[in-house]
């Protein structure tokens, strides 16, 4: 993969009411949270997809990006997260997956950070800059999708959980995260921005993303790098919200005092700290987890902070962190082996890293959860959605199945 000399210009603009209105209806490329974020406008400049081979694909992309960023000529007077040269990325969960890991470099970007807005234009050096105005695309009609059991039936999922519990009892591993899939279709020509918008407005505290047909709303930050400061939020340990205030209070109290969930959470925190240490300085985590309240769930959460090591980028941290105990298990190698054996499908990019990186190595990366992959077929658009649950000693197969149902809900509701 050779790198190209790019010319990049970012300038501040007047407020834009709806960033998504400028995205491609069929292939939206977006990263949004609480109204802030970046959206690609027009055809992307390039999509870099390293082949599976001797070098891990994440490493190949980090090397490629370092070279491209080093050669770029960047005029960025705005200097906010997401300005200057950026690429959107979505990586496969498993290095052995048939799915691509990809970095997409846009030609035009619209961004918002608080009350400031900007546009970025990216071109190959020597190419003329088509100075056309950024244009909106009217939203297409409302559409609905249907999804049903995929390769893993509800009964099959409970059987997989029992098989995982036998491995845990046998001492092979202490935790494994098992997913199940739903598959279906939506009408050809559907405006996929409608789904991004529904997820973004319905779950404003999550990262709503659309990258190369992967669309979702993730509550889980993998890592954020801004001006050299590294932050990560670890989520592990989950309970559904109650039907009323009293049930809600009872549910949160149960989660906060659950030994099983607190142990699962501690595994996840230690895994993140161990992965980040070689790439950072002055790394610290809060001592006790806090309760993160989402519209349909409570999670146990811990925030981690440190300083980026010299010459490193967000992509290096993504490679070091993925897969976390929160989406694979503990120990990692045994958990990945169990996932390959017990899940009757390829996860693709589900539970893989998704986000963006800039020329200085800053970026925001989440874990691709509460998401689906959309793939155009001959007469419709195929949809595969995934949800998983962490299995540890004491897990109950039926309860874990119910947890996946709760996690599917944001996407299934938005599809309907």
Write out the two tokens for 356. Answer: 């963006």
Which residue in 108, 119, 175, 364 is the catalytic one? 175
Beta pairing partners, 231: 224, 305
What is the DSSP-derived secondary structure letter of residue 60? H
Question: Cβ neighbours of residue 376 under 8 Å, at least 6 residues apart?
Answer: 26, 188, 382
Which residue in 9, 12, 172, 220 is the catalytic one? 220
- CB 371 within 8 Å of CB 216: yes
Burial class from Cβ neighbours inside 10 Å (0-12, 13-18, 19+) for residue 291 reads middle
Burial class from Cβ neighbours inside 10 Å (0-12, 13-18, 19+) for residue 176 reads buried
SS3 253: helix
Residue 344 CB neighbour total at 10 angstroms: 14
Q: Report the relative pairing of strands 175-187 and 380-392 from DSSP bridges.
A: antiparallel
175 is catalytic: yes
* Backbone dihedral angles phi then psi of residue 362, each to the nearest 5 degrees: -70, 165
220 is catalytic: yes
CA angle (39 as vertex; 57, 185 as ends), nearest 5: 70
SS3 334: helix
Q: Where do we find the tokens 């961004």?
A: 111
Q: Which residues are catalytic?
A: 175, 220
């Amino acid at each position: 993969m050779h790198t190209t000399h790019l010319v990049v210009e970012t300038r501040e603009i007047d407020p834009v009411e709806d960033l998504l209105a400028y995205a491609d209806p069929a292939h939206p490329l977006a990263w949004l949270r609480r109204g802030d974020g970046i959206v690609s406008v027009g055809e992307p400049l390039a999509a870099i997809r390293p082949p599976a081979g001797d070098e891990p694909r994440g490493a190949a992309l980090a090397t490629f990006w370092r070279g491209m960023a080093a050669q770029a000529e960047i005029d960025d007077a705005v200097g906010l997260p997401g300005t200057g040269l950026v690429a959107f990325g979505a990586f496969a969960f498993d290095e052995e997956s048939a799915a691509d890991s990809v970095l997409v470099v846009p030609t035009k970007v619209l961004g918002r950070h608080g009350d400031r807005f900007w546009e970025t234009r990216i071109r190959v050096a020597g190419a003329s800059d088509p100075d056309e105005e950024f244009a909106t695309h009217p939203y297409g009609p409302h559409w609905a999708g249907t999804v049903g059991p995929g390769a893993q039936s509800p009964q099959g999922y409970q059987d997989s959980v029992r098989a995982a519990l036998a491995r845990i009892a046998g001492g092979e591993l202490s935790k494994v995260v098992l997913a199940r899939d739903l598959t279906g279709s939506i009408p050809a020509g559907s405006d996929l921005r409608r789904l991004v918008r529904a997820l973004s407005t319905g779950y404003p505290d999550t990262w709503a993303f659309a990258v190369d047909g992967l669309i979702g709303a993730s509550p889980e930050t993998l890592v954020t790098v801004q001006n050299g400061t590294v932050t990560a939020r670890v989520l592990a340990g989950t309970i559904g919200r109650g039907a009323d205030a009293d049930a809600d209070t009872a549910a949160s109290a149960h989660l906060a005092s659950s030994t099983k969930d607190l142990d699962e959470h501690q595994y996840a925190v230690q895994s993140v700290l161990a992965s980040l240490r070689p790439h950072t300085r002055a790394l610290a985590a809060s001592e006790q987890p806090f309760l993160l309240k989402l519209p349909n769930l409570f999670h146990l959460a811990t925030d981690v902070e440190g300083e980026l090591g010299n010459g490193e980028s967000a992509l290096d941290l993504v490679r070091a962190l993925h897969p976390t105990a929160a989406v694979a298990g503990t120990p990692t190698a045994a958990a990945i082996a169990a996932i390959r054996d017990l899940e009757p499908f390829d996860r693709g990019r589900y539970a893989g890293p998704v986000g963006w990186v800039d020329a200085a190595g800053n970026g925001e990366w989440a874990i691709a959860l509460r998401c689906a992959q959309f793939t155009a077929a001959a007469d419709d658009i195929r949809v595969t959605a995934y949800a998983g649950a962490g299995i540890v000693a004491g897990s109950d197969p039926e309860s874990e199945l119910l947890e996946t149902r709760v996690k599917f809900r944001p996407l299934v509701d938005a599809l309907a």
